[in-house]
Structure 1
Amino acid sequence: MIKHVWAVYFSPSGKTEQVTMAVAEGAAGLLKIGEIHAYDFTLPDKREHPFCFGEEDLVILGCPTYAGRIPNKIMPFIRDSICGHGASAAIVMTYGGRNIDHSVMETYLLLQENGFKVYGAGSAVTRHVMSDILSAGRPGTEDLKAAGQFGADVVHKIMTQPENYNDLSLPGSNPVGPYYKPLEADGTPANFLKAKPKVHNEICTRCKICAEVCPMGSISRENVEEVPGVCIKCHACVRKCPTGARFFDDPSLISHIRMLEENFAGQPKDNNWYL
């Protein structure tokens, strides 16, 4: 019997958290559980130790899609440190409107290997972290309402078909396919792996929020102009800077964003929920 509902998520921009919490609220509502336990593993110190569950837990795991898969710097934590021990689970993979590719399948396979009973999975559209126009306004009210209904549907399946777990038909390939290779606006390969955020010094207040929200801990707290660590292009520093002082100026990255906006901004995507 499920006694605890968990919302467990990696959410640099906050959008994945929104959808994951909506699913958890829908599940908790049907179970008549008042408290939802949240575990946000966005920041590095939250990924230092394993996090394990049991048969009385329902875990809603949320994560954004990067290049068609789980972010490559986050996948090892999910693979090695989130363990089920018979816990029930549902998956929420968000994406910015290009394509979900293999991320739902990848997470599904990892959770099965880690001892979870996966009863449902979904791909939910959220505003693209790199763009103000690609999937702008998502998730909206209707998106979050549908996410809540999915959470309730997962619980209904657990209650009425407890033996039907790990039986989902999902997008993506098994074995998991390669990461998406980004393109520039002219269709040539984009290479912005080394791109790092810059600072508009004239409007930067040195509040250090950018360093505090970086999921890799890569921005120096002593001098926020320095980014000695790896950058995963999550844009948390850009999105959460109160003065708009953070920006990227890498030509290949900017060209890639233009390609995304030109090819996908006019093609709104639907959320998909699988049971």
Structure 2
Amino acid sequence: MVHAKLVCFSPTGTTKAVLRGIERGIEPDTSEWIDITSPDARNEPLQTSEDELLVIGVPVYMGRVPALIMDWLQAMKLQNNPAICVVVYGNRTYEDALLELKKTILQCGGIPIAGGAFIGEHSFSTEKTPTAAGRPYNKDLDYAKEFGRNIRSKLESVSSENPVSEVEVPGEYPYRGDSKLWVVDFIAVNDKCTSCGHCAEICPTGAIDSKNSAKIELEKCITCCACIRACPEHARTMKPGPVQDASLRLHTLYAEPKMPEYYLWKG
């Protein structure tokens, strides 16, 4: 029996899509989803039971696990659970994020047995300067499903003579990137805005005023661009400035599609 607990932080939905692909491959007997994208979902720490398989997926910000969720992740109380670490990046590089997630799980009492790095459309991708537009593609999700199938197969071969063990994943420690993002005023709101409040509802940090969607607490904003993507009226766009410049730079330098990678424990 495989009882899976799937945890994701997924402002634009790409990480969640990858985890669903992995879930389809594992075919767990039971599944429980914990989406920690909204601020309220991060109020209580995660606690697991001994017989649960933990799958955790996060996006990569500046080559790291997002600083916003590190306190929540570090507060997890795990019971030697086998765990799958998944990071989703925007076709640039995932640098040390997978290693950072693995080490965090270890520190909380889990056993990271597998790790995967998948590609999702970059948060800064636009129609004019796309980067990994539309990803994860169906092929990416097929790869995620294959990853899940291989995990299930290996789990079925586990015995006292052949137990699970810690997986080796790429990365360097001390970590190279800075997980704290820019504090920058980069979102323009035009006259198409109807003040429907959807952007405030889906903001992962509660940075948008629910009564005045043009009002944003810059110190809370993590430049995930979820509000731009989700606006039903297409009333939110990037202002000229560092984020728009970064969008052009990513489009120019990282046009060649990267391929997903995954790693399994040996044994």
Distance 2:117 2:111 in 1: 18
Contact 1:91 1:107 survives alignment (8 Å): yes
What does residue 151 of structure 2 align with? 154
**Matched residue, 1:106:** 100
Structure 2 equivalent of residue 254 of structure 1: 244
* Secondary structure, aligned partner of 2:68: coil
Equivalenced residue count is 257
The alignment status of 1:130 with 2:124, answered yes or no, reads: yes
- What SS does the aligned partner of 2:103 have? helix
**Letter in structure 2 aligned against 1:164:** V
Q: Give the corresponding residue for 1:187.
A: none
TM-score w.r.t. the length of structure 2 is: 0.91
3-state DSSP of counterpart to 2:232: coil
TM-score, normalised by the number of residues in structure 1: 0.88
Matched, 1:272 2:261: yes
Aligned counterpart, 2:46: 51
Residue 38 in structure 1 maps to residue 27 in structure 2: no
Specify which of 194, 199, 212 is matched with residue 205 of structure 1. 194
* TM-superposed deviation, 1:148: 1.1
The gaps in structure 1 that reach 5 residues or longer are 182-190
Residues 192 and 253, structure 1, Cα contact 8 Å, conserved in 2: no
The 2-side partners of 1:180 and 1:60 are apart by 22
- Alpha-carbon RMSD across the aligned residues, in angstroms, is 1.8
Distance 1:250 1:104 in 2: 32
Q: Which of residues 88, 91, 109 in structure 2 aligns to 1:94?
A: 88
DSSP-derived class of the 1:123 partner? strand
State the Cα distance separating 1:136 from its structure 2 match: 1.5
Q: Which residue of 1 aligns with 2:208?
A: 219
Shift of 1:196: 4.4
Structure 1 stretches of 4+ moved >6 Å: none
Q: Pairwise mapping of residues 122-201 of structure 1 onto structure 2 (< 5 A)?
A: 122-132=116-126, 133-161=130-158, 163-166=163-166, 168-179=167-178, 192-200=182-190
The within-5 A match list for 1:67-82 is 67-80=62-75, 82=76
Q: Deviations over 1:113-139 (max 9, x none)?
A: 111121100000111111032111211
Contact 2:62/2:177, CA 8 A, preserved across alignment? no
Is it true that 1:231 corresponds to 2:221 in the alignment?
yes
